[in-house]
Each structure stands twice: as structure tokens, then as C-alpha cells.
């Protein structure tokens, strides 16, 4: 067998449909698109159209409300913070902020800030700088001899105005 003797299997390759080549071809003039109408035009893609039937996206129920002003916080529990301090991933003598929490692996990413929650127990004296904290978490930190400093919330551009909530 030689390279010039190679050819595809019988019937595996078809000639392309040549449209607009006269009436005798069967696909002349309108090229198989019929006459007039939306689908005979170029660039037509009717997504979600079900021929006058109520489309699926309108048949399904819509639930709830998504506020454009909502915030998503990275949550840190006191127990997780204490474990990181015990494992020497965080230095308790220094101020603990978002950067320190990310570098130690306690928080994966900042999102709209860090929120301190009171799940678990804190025994070490620490100074925390976070966006939000629950009342019980603040009490637990102060009970251990530390303090919590709340940072101002990030300003977010929404439409034609700034949102600070």
C-alpha cells in the first residue's frame, strides 16, 4: 500500500449539499428554507420558543427574592481560631486580621469580609480585626482577655449609587 492509494471507506464521506444551484437540484432558489418567514432569514435562533406553547422557563415557579445589596461573609468560629493558634499557624501576640486568617488557612477567601461566630471555645488572649461578629463571640473574646475591633463595611457600587449596607 502506498500513500497515494489511501482513500476513505466506501460511503463514509458524502458530498456537501450545494444549495441555490437551480430548480432541478431540488434545493434551488429558497435553498430548502421555504418562503418568507422568520426561519428563512439568516441569523435566526429562536431559543426557548416552543411554538406558542408556554415556554418551560415561564411554566416553572419563581421563588424568593435576591437582594443586590446582600453580603456574603467568610465565617470563622472561635473553636477553629483556637485550633489554629494551638497548631502555631497564627501568632496570638500579633493582631489577627483577614490577611493573617487567609495565610494560616483558617479562611479560604475574604468575600465581603470576615464574620466571627461563637461556636467553640477561645482560651487565648487575642486582638481581632473583623467586619462583623456575633454578640456572644465578642463576649467570649473579651472574657478570654482579648478584644474585637469591627472594621467599616466595604462600599459596593450598585447601579447609580453606592451601597454601604
- Per-residue model confidence as pLDDT tens for the chain (165 residues): 899 999 999 999 999 999 999 999 999 999 888 899 888 888 887 888 888 899 999 999 989 998 888 889 999 999 999 999 999 999 989 999 999 999 999 999 988 889 999 999 999 999 999 999 999 999 999 999 999 999 887 665 555 555 555
In-domain check, residue 122: yes
Evaluate whether residue 101 is within a structural domain. Answer: yes
Flag whether 46 is in a domain: no
Q: Which domain holds residue 93?
A: 74-158
Whether 135 is covered by a domain: the verdict is yes
The CATH number that applies at residue 102 is 3.100.10.10
CA 53 to chain centre: 32
Residues 6+ away with beta carbon under 8 Å from 45: none
Does residue 120 sit within a domain? yes
* pTM for the structure as a whole: 0.57
| Domain contains 123 | yes
Q: How many domains does the chain have?
A: 1
CA atoms of 131 and 116, how far apart (whole Å): 8
Tell whether 137 is covered by a domain. yes
Residue holding cell 485550633? Answer: 83
- Let me know: does 116 contact 136? Beta carbons within 8 Å: no
Which region holds residue 96: left if phi is over 0, alpha if psi is between -120 and 50, else beta?
A: beta
The answer to the question of residue 163 being in a domain is no
Amino acid at each position: 500500500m502506498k500513500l497515494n492509494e489511501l482513500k476513505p471507506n466506501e460511503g463514509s464521506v458524502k458530498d456537501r449539499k450545494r444549495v441555490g444551484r437551480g430548480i432541478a437540484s431540488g434545493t434551488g432558489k429558497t435553498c430548502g428554507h421555504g418562503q418568507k418567514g422568520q426561519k428563512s432569514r439568516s441569523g435566526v435562533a429562536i431559543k426557548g420558543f416552543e411554538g406558542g406553547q408556554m415556554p418551560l422557563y415561564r411554566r416553572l415557579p419563581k421563588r424568593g427574592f435576591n437582594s443586590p445589596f446582600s453580603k456574603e461573609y467568610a465565617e470563622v468560629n472561635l473553636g477553629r481560631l483556637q485550633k489554629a493558634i494551638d497548631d502555631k499557624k497564627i501568632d496570638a501576640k500579633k493582631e489577627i486580621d483577614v490577611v493573617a486568617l487567609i495565610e494560616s488557612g483558617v479562611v479560604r477567601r475574604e468575600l465581603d469580609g470576615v464574620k466571627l461566630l461563637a461556636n467553640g471555645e477561645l482560651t487565648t488572649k487575642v486582638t481581632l480585626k473583623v467586619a462583623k461578629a456575633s454578640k456572644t463571640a465578642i463576649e467570649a473574646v473579651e472574657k478570654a482577655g482579648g478584644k474585637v475591633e469591627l472594621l467599616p463595611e466595604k462600599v459596593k457600587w450598585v447601579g447609580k449609587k453606592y451601597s454601604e449596607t
